[in-house]
Chains A and B, each alone.
Chain A
């Protein structure tokens, strides 16, 4: 890790350090993963679930889930959605980009220790979930059974295919179940929406923490299923998105009640969300 870069980000939390995009992976027609290399080592060590600002200096910056690849590289996966992501989807390997962070609270890795882990990802929502999945894989003995459930709109929209279809199947005591909303001629897997798919898989709530990330509509319909399966609000963890500019709780816009998503989130338990205004 690069100490000078880390120090710069601490002293000037709103000023990015630059890195070079060394690898671009086409995950789906509208999702790409970027590996960013920093000359003297990565500038920070994000916790699973933390976020960082990624920028094309002349275009703008936006907040994304960030993952450690190795000592020199950080990784971002982004869906083409707005001005910044449109531009980032056009860049080529070798492009220099700005990064600042890490921001937010991250997943409660200690609270989850000793628990069975249920991961439910929908669409690009698998990106934050995946940071925790990798944490559990890298600290396998600290966590119990791992159960990964993923749903995408179609087989073409499956992200992180290597992980979903190969790598994670080799993790001890770990199941991976994948479904799509609509199949195609070659798809032999499950065709189902995530909520009924989870209901059929019927994960056990005992001593389990569920991490659920995806589009709001997916989360909305999955929560009643979780309740039916016997999960309590403190067993369910999710991440929220809001428009962000500063990332350090000053610029004002990402508040939900008196909480700032950039600082106090983006990870919240359902129990916490129930005490907050429904405005996200």
Chain B
């Protein structure tokens, strides 16, 4: 284990920046966001970032390839190249867990998405254990140990005046050994408070498989305004659109985040839409999280970060929905 005096945090980040692009939670206008680290920025470790760091592996817009078209000629000019090395500093255990779900989506079931893989393989995760969860956090219920992230390269603990860092992978160890700002030491893992919200999503998938036609969905969807903020903030939402931009004879194909809450998302040529109203779209979103994803990848697609329930403009609350789904009667 290595110890860092918090007064040397900037030095540490500057050293890390020598090897890779560092992304760290920075407070700007009262919003904490993962930002490219440059000397002079203030790291804010007080609470989790408003936006999850998923865009560092799966950018909001990402060029896939360039092409040229001229008359009848068409040529794919350049496949977007690999990625630079990056370090995500002070990523929380819930967001680390979300990367495992991204891995399931982008790297398994027969196809590896090379855009995602390039970034994933070049990313080092330095996680920060949580001591005081937000009132909207419920990661405990999703089986996440918020004190320590088992899937980060380096786990970090906040000791007050100091940070403790412990390597979990070879890459993490090599990185820690290279940093002269760190001193050998030992420390007890700090105590962590329990999340206030508790839910029990385990076993819900089987019940939901019988609930597709249940009137609950119609009732639930009335409140939703279909803004898509939940999908934007969610660290496990991974849907994307593929579009293109033409400038004269040149153009590029890119992908960008999309949302299952929008009607165009499933609207087909000719006008047919299998999910034409909010009812179908809200139902699909929650069934995807709680039934479809568990059926496909054996994980509930929610990490309990609480972002969606903190920011939904009409107070749709996935924890309340999980509770209600557990309680409603189902006709066998």
Q: Please list the residues of chain A having a beta carbon within 8 angstroms of any beta carbon in chain B.
A: 11-18, 56-62, 81-85, 91-92, 94-98, 216, 241-243, 245-246, 248-253, 255-258, 263, 277-280
Contact = CB atoms under 8 A, between A and B. Distances in A.
Contacts of B74: 18, 56-58, 95-98
16 contacts: A57-B74, A60-B243, A91-B72, A92-B72, A95-B74, A242-B268, A248-B111, A249-B111, A250-B106, A252-B238, A253-B258, A255-B284, A256-B274, A258-B295, A263-B110, A279-B280
B191 to A, nearest CB: 39
B196 interface: no
B286 interface: no
B240 interface: yes
Q: Which of B272, B293, B295 has the most CB of A within 10 A?
A: B272
Nearest to A251: B240
Contacts of A258: 291-293, 295-296
B86 to A, nearest CB: 21
Q: Which of B72, B266, B274, B275 has the most CB of A within 10 A?
A: B274
Contact of B260 (A14, A61, A248, A252): A252
Interface of B is mostly: mixed
Contact of B266 (A12, A62, A91, A253): A253
Contacts of A251: 239-242, 255, 258
A16 B242 CA distance: 13
Interface in B95-125: 105-106, 109-111, 113-115
Contacts of A243: 265-268
Interface in B282-311: 284, 287-288, 291-293, 295-296
Complex A-B, nearest 8 residue pairs according to Cβ-Cβ distance, in ascending order? A82-B269, A252-B239, A96-B74, A258-B292, A248-B111, A258-B295, A81-B269, A57-B67
Contacts of B114: 11-13
A18 B113 contact: no
B192 interface: no
Interface of B: 64-65, 67, 69, 72-76, 79, 105-106, 109-111, 113-115, 212, 238-244, 246, 251, 253, 255, 258, 260, 265-270, 272, 274-275, 280, 284, 287-288, 291-293, 295-296
A83 B295 CA distance: 35
Given A15-B65, A253-B265, A257-B292, A245 B76 contact: no
A183 to B, nearest CB: 25
Nearest to A277: B212
B134 to A, nearest CB: 28
Nearest to B296: A258
B208 to A, nearest CB: 10
B72 A250 contact: no
Contacts of A61: 242
Contacts of B270: 81-82
A148 B280 CA distance: 37
A173 B239 CA distance: 48
A62 B292 CA distance: 25
Contacts of B287: 257
A253 B296 contact: no
Contacts of A62: 269
A96 B72 CA distance: 6
A12 B65 CA distance: 10
A49 B268 CA distance: 20
A56 B240 CA distance: 20
B296 A245 contact: no
B76 A15 contact: yes
A181 to B, nearest CB: 18
A241 B244 CA distance: 23
Given A16-B76, A242-B274, A253-B258, A263 B109 contact: yes
B258 A255 contact: no
A245 to B, nearest CB: 5
Contact of B109 (A85, A249, A253): A249
Nearest to A11: B114
A97 B288 CA distance: 35
Contact of A58 (B69, B79, B238): B69
A246 B106 contact: no
A94 B72 CA distance: 6
Nearest to A61: B242
Q: Which of A11, A91, A243 has the most CB of B within 10 A?
A: A243
A92 B260 CA distance: 37
B265 to A, nearest CB: 6
